Amino acid sequence: MSAVASSSAILPISGFPAGGDVHWETQRRFVWNEQAHTREEHELVYEISWVNELGLWRRFLRSQRKVTS
């Protein structure tokens, strides 16, 4: 089991059609480092947007970094 901290913010992004809902979500998760055989805390940033044509949400991992205290 892992603990998850999550936050989101709506950011204005040019180039998207009017009415498009785009926001970012940040999560902190523990992931397994196979090379070091240890658990590490990572911060994951996702872009979440609504696709009007398909009528669904899409979610992409935009960045990942190791949390150093």
- At residue 52, the pLDDT reads 87
Average pLDDT over residues 11-40: 80
Give residue 42's pLDDT band: very low, low, confident or very high (50, 70, 90): very high
- At residue 56, the pLDDT reads 92
| 58-67 confidence digits (pLDDT tens) | 999 999 999 9
Beta-strand pair 38-51/56-66: antiparallel
Residue whose tokens read 């913010």: 9
Q: pTM of this prediction? A: 0.61
- The mean of the pLDDT values for the chain is 82
Beta-strand pair 56-66/5-10: unpaired
Q: Closest by alpha carbon to 40, among 3, 64, 66, 61?
A: 66
Check: CB of residue 45 under 8 Å from CB of residue 24.
Answer: yes
